[in-house]
Amino acid sequence: MARLIAILVGLGFTLVVLISFGVDTYTSITEPAPETAEHKFHLEPKAVSFPHDGVFGKWDTAQLQRGYVVYKEVCAACHSMKFVAFRDLADLGYTEPEVQALAAEWQVPGVDPQTGEAVLRAGEPTDYFPSPYPNAVAAAAANNNAIPPDLSLMAKARHGGAEYIYSLLTGYQEPSEELLAEFPEAAPGQGLYHNPYFPNLNLAMAPPLTATGQVSYEDGTEATIPQMAKDVSAFLSWTAEPTKVKRTQTGWPVLGFVLFATILAYLSKKQIWAAVKPAKRKD
Amino acid sequence: MSFAWAKQYEPSNGLMRWVDEKLPLPRLVYNAVGAGYPVPRNLNYMWNFGVLAGFALVLQIVTGVILAMHYAANAEVAFASVEHIMRDVNWGWMLRYAHANGASFFFVVIYLHIFRGLFYSSYKAPREMIWLLGVVIFLLVMATAFMGYVLPWGQMSFWGAKVITGLFGAIPLVGESIQVWLLGGFAPDNAALNRFFSLHFLLPFVTAGVIILHIWALHIPGSSNPTGVEVKSESDTVPFHPYYTAKDGFGLGIFLLIYFAVVFFLPNYLGHADNYIEANPLATPANIVPEWYFWPFYAILRAFTFDFILPAKLWGVLAMFASILLWFFLPWLDKSPVRSGHYRPLFRKFFWFGLIPCILVLGYCGGAHLSPWTIALSQLATAYYFLHFLVILPLISSFEKTEPMPYSITDAVLNADKKPVLGENTSPAV
């Protein structure tokens, strides 16, 4: 009886899902879904390598410091970085007085101790990076209704991570003839810019890196557009996961210990079972 | 369980004798996982995963309780509190990665444990109750994992919660009221996040309770084994300790090696980038997908696209729940007297060339972008899934010619078992 009911229920679900299959297959053959510009012209991120990549990676503090300059001079005009505090900059190889000096270059919201009024004051190491806009409405109003996303976690929040950021920053271009011929509606509209690395091909952010020497690096590195893009991508990898290098460096001793323990466990297992294990026989 | 030859606990010193008299806890442990539990001597490594699942639960509870000390279940600050754990809490990043990936590894071992049960038909009499409790544990763990994924309050948390609680909206007439009542609002928000956190903390302890019942039920008939032949004499068994504690110890080492490699080197591989974007009810992600361990069931949900009498969405929900609930009936659907898949040639073919590829295809389709291809594949795989469990499995025993089984476990291991007390060994020489 149980089996009969089960067979009927099973055949029922099978029948219904096969009807769905038949209808969907018929539809997709008679009315194939149109090809989309996003599907055909979107590019996967370029392959870029960073010193902190991989299981043996280490931060290149000189690169992170350069990336910080790019963030401060370029990105910070529109993008917040709310999960990162000035004190965190010590990771980039700055000393405590240097961190204090870097923090003091920023104006953060504060309270006047005499009057209690909202004022801007110089940043301190315990402060977090301030937002360039007082609120989301102001951010949208200043940017053609597209709120510039917070950059703290950008390298983890996008498929491709730092490579995606690098590709996006260096990927602005005129839409190809082929694209415009096939999908005229994919041409960037008012206030939009074409970039094949962006999922829907047109984004509201104007190309932020426009000329060599846009920022000046203290270490004498030439600030070309790819150089700046790479440095700021590395910097954003750090802001997304400041503990990344500590994590991989912790992993090795942990794995070493567990491997040692596993070998011991294997040997004791072998020893204990030796008495009851028969000679190998094939089954 | 007590076979006649099971050793009884004998306190080795005065203190333990005193404890054992007042509270026989040492005796319980001795009989549960000690030398007082005789276990078939031929268990292969597929029998490691029960202990590993128990280990994974403990790991999740330990990491989870510490994470809960730093997490704030409030929609305003939940996302920031997770970043606080990742950046400012000492070793917080390790705790969180261990917990998030611990959930994935919990499912890896649970799935292997379930597949072991399916291949060796461990659900058959006299072990039906162990299997039923196991399915309850699986459902509890799924609910816990789903609610846990909502807690970081990222985009996938929010939209996953919206889609899954939206399933209750498919119930005719009362569905939407139930959905609003469950969520405490029209969309997931603070009320939902708070109750999810509360339940996410509670359910692991409920799970632990059901696991105790699961193990209790296991000790009545004792463990099954790869031959499916029941234990006949003392030579068929070895005491759990030290034999299986040592074997499980080695299995645990292998598990930890893979687990830590992922935790330290690929902690976000099994996650989704969108969950590092704070929840935004106004921006729908391009592809809402649950965590990988729900993909097969998500594929079944999405396979129903045609309103056949009932709305397609309701069919999907019914099928998704049915796909797991039907496991409750397996002990009564599979009538073959032979347990182990080793001696069932037809069952074995359907298992390896039907069920396993079917689950893999469902898993792939559940995580992939929706396209005509993935929908068609998931529909065919869904059809096979229901045919396999509800039609093929009940029917094959009627016309399957099973292969000869060993006379006893000892016979299977040593290729000889000549104990006159058990009667004549009629097993053909291998």
Give me the domains of chain B, ranges plus CATH numbers: 31-271+281-414 (1.20.810.10)
B223 is annotated as an active-site residue: yes
CATH of the domain at A57: 1.10.760.10
> What residue in A sits closest to B378 (Cα-Cα)?
A21
pLDDT at B421 over 70: no
Residue B329: band (very low, low, confident or very high) from pLDDT cuts 50, 70, 90 = very high
Q: Could you tell me where the DSSP H helices lie in B304-355? A: 312-325, 330-333, 345-350
Is A267 within the bounds of a domain?
no
Q: How many residues are given for chain A?
A: 283
> Among residues 246-265 of chain B, which lie with CB inside 8 Å of chain A?
246-247, 249-250, 252-254, 256-257, 260-261, 263-265
Checking if the pLDDT of B429 tops 50, the result is no
**What gap in Å lies between CA B281 and CA B193, rounded to an integer?**
14
Q: Does B319 touch chain A (CB under 8 A)?
A: yes
Cβ B304–A17 below 8 Å, yes or no?
yes
- A261 pLDDT above the threshold of 80: yes
pLDDT beyond 60 at B291: yes
- Which position among B219, B241, B388, B419 bears the catalytic label? B219
B247 an active-site residue? yes
CA distance B134 to B349: 25
pLDDT for position B417: 72
The percent of chain A in helix, strand and coil, each rounded to the nearest 5, is 50, 5, 45
State how far the alpha carbon of B405 is from the alpha carbons of B343, B402, B411, B414, in Å.
Answer: 7, 9, 10, 14
Q: In this predicted model, what pLDDT tens digit does every residue of B273-283 receive, in sequence order?
A: 999 999 999 99
Chain B 122-161, CB below 8 Å of chain A: which residues?
Answer: none
Whole-angstrom distance, CA of residue B346 vs CA of residue B341:
9
Contact list, A281 vs chain B (CB under 8 Å): 415, 430
| B113 among annotated binding-site residues | yes
Is A70 a member of any domain?
yes
Q: What ipTM was assigned to the predicted interfaces of this complex? A: 0.94
CB contact under 8 A, A265 and B250: yes
Does residue A112 form part of some domain?
no
Confirm or reject contact between B430 and chain A (CB < 8 A): yes
Q: Distance between CA B269 and CA A55 in Å, rounded? A: 14
> Minimal Cα–Cα distance from A270 to chain B, Å?
9
B7 assigned to active site? no
Beta-strand relationship, A193-194 and A118-122: unpaired
CA distance linking residue A76 with residue B281, whole number of Å: 26
Average pLDDT, chain A: 94
Q: Is residue A142 part of a domain?
A: yes
- Give the range of the structural domain holding residue A171, as residue numbers without chain letter: 39-84+129-244
Q: How far apart are CA B249 and CA B255, in angstroms?
A: 10
**Residue B383 at interface with chain A, using a CB cutoff of 8 Å:** yes
Give the list of residues 6+ apart from residue B100 with CB closer than 8 angstroms, or none: B267, B270, B271
Partner residue facing B260 (CB), from A199, A255, A265: A255
pLDDT in tens, B120-152: 999 999 999 999 999 999 999 999 999 999 999
Q: What pLDDT is recorded for position A251?
A: 97
Residue A91 lies in a domain: no
For residue B306, give the nearest of A13, A20, A242 by CB distance.
A20
Nearest Cα to A176, choosing from A35, A33, A43? A43
Task: Indicate the residue of B257, B268, B394 with minimum beta-carbon distance to A258.
Answer: B257
* Number of A–B residue contacts, CB under 8 Å: 172
- Single out the residue of A42, A52, A23, A48 nearest to residue A176, CA to CA: A42
pLDDT of residue B410: 87
Rg (CA), chain B: 24
The reply to whether B248 belongs to the active site is: yes
In-domain check, residue A166: yes
Residue A200: pLDDT over 70: yes
Residues from chain A that touch B279, judged by Cβ atoms under 8 A, are none
- Establish if A255 belongs to a structural domain: no
Please indicate, yes or no, if residue A119 is contained in any of the structural domains. Answer: no
Q: Residue range B355-360: average pLDDT?
A: 97
pLDDT band at residue A85 using 50, 70 and 90 as cut-offs? very high
Is B86 in Cβ contact with A243 (below 8 Å)? yes
Can you read off the two tokens belonging to residue A77? Answer: 């005009």
Other beta carbons less than 10 A from residue A104's beta carbon: 14
Question: Cβ(B294)–Cβ(B146) under 8 Å?
Answer: yes
Q: What percent of chain B has pLDDT over 70?
A: 97
| Catalytic-residue membership of B291 | yes
Q: Which chain B residues touch A283 with a CB distance below 8 Å?
A: 430
Q: For B415, which residue in chain A has the nearest alpha carbon? A: A281
Catalytic residue among B104, B121, B122, B223: B223
For B141, the enclosing helix (H) or strand (E) is: helix B128-150
Instruction: Give the pLDDT band (50/70/90) at residue B1.
Output: low
A6: left (phi over 0), alpha (psi -120 to 50) or beta: alpha
Average pLDDT over residues A39-63: 95
- At A141, the amino acid letter reads A
B312 touches chain A (CB under 8 A): yes
Query: Is B388 within any annotated ligand binding site?
Result: no
Please state the domain count of chain A.
Answer: 1
Residue B200 in marked binding region: yes
A107: closest CA of chain B, how far (Å): 22
Neighboring chain A residues of B94 at a CB cutoff of 8 Å:
247, 250
pLDDT band with cut points at 50, 70 and 90 for residue B4:
confident
Amino acid at A32: P
Is pLDDT of B430 > 70? no
Copy the structure tokens of residue B168: 């209750």
Which of B276, B284, B302, B358 is most worth mutating to test chain A (most A CB atoms within 10 A of its CB)?
Answer: B276
CB B221 within 8 A of CB B126: yes
Disruptive mutation site among B45, B86, B91, B415 for chain A (greatest number of A CBs within 10 Å): B86
Percent over 90 (pLDDT), chain B: 88
A81 annotated ligand binder: no
What confidence score (pLDDT) does residue B412 get? Answer: 87
Given B232, B247, B272, B313, the catalytic residue:
B247
Name the residue in chain B with its Cα closest to that of A271.
B246
- Quote the Cα angle for A266-B270-A156, to 5°: 130
Select from B390, B414, B415 the Cβ nearest to the Cβ of A6: B390
B97 contacts A247? CB cut-off 8 A? yes
CB contact under 8 A, A261 and B253: yes
